[in-house]
Amino acid sequence: MSAELEAQDPTATTLVAPDSGARWTQRYSAALMDTFGTPQRVLVRGEGVYVWDADGRRYLDLLAGIAVNALGHAHPTLTAAISAQLGTLGHVSNFFATPTQVALAERLLSIADAPEGSRVFFTNSGTEANEAVVKMARRTGRRRILALEGSFHGRTMGALAMTHKPAYREPFEPLPGGVEFLPFGDTEALEAAFAQDGDDVAALVLEPIQGEAGVRPLPPGYVALARRLTSDAGALLVLDEVQTGMGRTGRWLAHQHPHLGGGVRPDVVTLAKGLGGGFPIGAVVAYGERAATLLGRGQHGTTFGGNPVAAAAGLATIGVIERDGLLGSTTEVGERLRADIRGLGHPLVAEARGEGLLIAIELAAPVAATVAARALEAGFVVNPCNPTTLRLAPPLILTTDQVAPFVAFLGALPHDLGTEA
């Protein structure tokens, strides 16, 4: 046993001796790959909508681990559910089933309003869920996969092949082939993509609201058109709701909003991020017998996917969202927050958009990184997802009172921030 571990009280909540933020950052850089760059802070603790760094400073967490911590930090119900499952049965292989896993699959099918014959495949992340989608698309025997410009579907090779951003793709080419990118929200381009070789389209993969691209909703009617074209061509309509799903937008799934989904039933929905309330889990929901049987026995697998602890986390997260009416409060707090931000009338704040608690603040100048750094100094975690856009994806338990200091912070930003050297 390491001296560090031995020196600890085994009942302590941390297994690691404390150090300063600066020291942790040095140790991070020496021990971890540089894929994420230098971390902004080293965080040691969270409670509700707040996190604390290694130097004892508190932050209002308006990002929630990128749309993950739906119930905030250290939620007692989630903690108890995970602990109870781990203390009962922590992991089995997929040669065996667990009641927790079955119960979560049933809950997801019900949330998704999936018809008879629908099935779930569990993964550990969003990218893995989308990777499974690529394999499902291949199993149709068709070659073309359509995705949108600005898309983000993950970083493994198949998911990356459907991700548009050149900086993510180019270092890893060649990627699996057959993916075509269509201009975002362009209905003519969508029709044109099906007009020729429509019978060779395996799948059309869409995010109802593009998250990484800056909280960009598809225009009303787009998903309905996508449904009509895919149905006519016999192609799969896949909705990547990894970021928008599980209550984030005020409905269980974003496409259940009439203006985002047009009331359509997709063939596949992928989920992850908020699903486990912070515990890693992803899922593929396949609607109806055809989609649900594309991956046959032995054609896909995972060691951890469907893990009972992760499934318990999913069940507890869904249970709390339901019990505490968090879909309704997500809608209300999100609407109010966007209205309050607009109401500032600050010249730097051009727009506040989004759905529920997936929100973008559009700035009038490319100063998102500067504003995010100032916000962090002032005790607010936000994400500059491109030079002009701040993304907020706070815990769904957030209240208007808790977020008021952040609105005040925005209001007090210098008007000339964009023109400073």
Ligand X SMILES: *Cc1c(COP(=O)(O)O)cnc(C)c1O
Q: For residues 182-201, which are near ligand X according to CB under 6 A?
A: none
Smallest separation, CB 300 to ligand X (Å): 16
| CB contact at 8 A, 61 and 405 | no
For residue 363, report the phi and psi dihedrals to the nearest 5 degrees: -100, 155
Name the one range near ligand X by CB under 6 A: 93-101, 122-130, 168-176, 307-315. 122-130
Residue 240 in contact with ligand X, rule: CB under 6 A = yes
Binding ligand X by CB under 6 A: which of 24, 121, 152, 184?
152
The CA distance from 309 to 115, in Å, is 27
Query: Which residue number, 60 or 271, has a Cβ lying nearer to ligand X?
Result: 271
Q: Is 153 in the site for ligand X (CB under 6 A)?
A: yes
CA dihedral in degrees (83, 88, 94, 97; nearest 10)?
A: -120
Angle between helices 76-86 and 308-323 (to 10 degrees): 150
Using the rule CB under 6 A, is 150 a contact of ligand X? Answer: no
* The binder of ligand X chosen from 61, 131, 207, 355 (CB under 6 A): 207
Round to whole Å and give the CA distance between 43 and 46: 8
* Pick 273 or 346: Cβ nearer ligand X: 273
Residue 156 C-beta: closest distance to ligand X, Å: 8
Q: Does 389 bind ligand X (CB under 6 A)?
A: no
Specify the residue for token string 């939620």: 75
Binding residue (CB under 6 A) for ligand X from 211, 214, 217, 278: 211
Question: Which residue in the shown chain puts its C-beta closest to ligand X?
Answer: 126
317 binds ligand X (CB under 6 A): no
Decide: 78 and 316 in contact? Cβ < 8 Å: yes
Q: How far is the CB of 314 from ligand X (least distance, A)?
A: 14
CB of 315 to ligand X, least distance (A): 19
* 3 state DSSP class of 342: helix
Token pair, residue 392, equals 């907020």
Contact indicator for 216, 242 with CB cutoff of 8 Å:
no
Rounded to the nearest 10°, the torsion over CA 199, 202, 204, 205 is 180
Q: Spell out, one character per residue from 260 to 289, where the chain touches ligand X: x when CB under 6 A holds, - when not.
A: ------------xx----------------
Candidate residues 46, 154, 250, 261; the one interacting with ligand X per rule CB under 6 A: 154
- Burial class (CB within 10 angstroms; exposed 0-12, middle 13-18, buried 19+) of 56: exposed
* Count of residues of this chain found to bind ligand X when the rule CB under 6 A is applied: 15
Instruction: Report the C-alpha gap between 256 and 35 in whole angstroms.
Output: 35
Rounded CA-CA distance 224/202 in Å is: 18
Assess 307 for contact with ligand X (CB under 6 A): no
List residues binding ligand X (CB under 6 A).
Answer: 125-127, 130, 152-154, 207, 211-212, 240, 242-243, 272-273
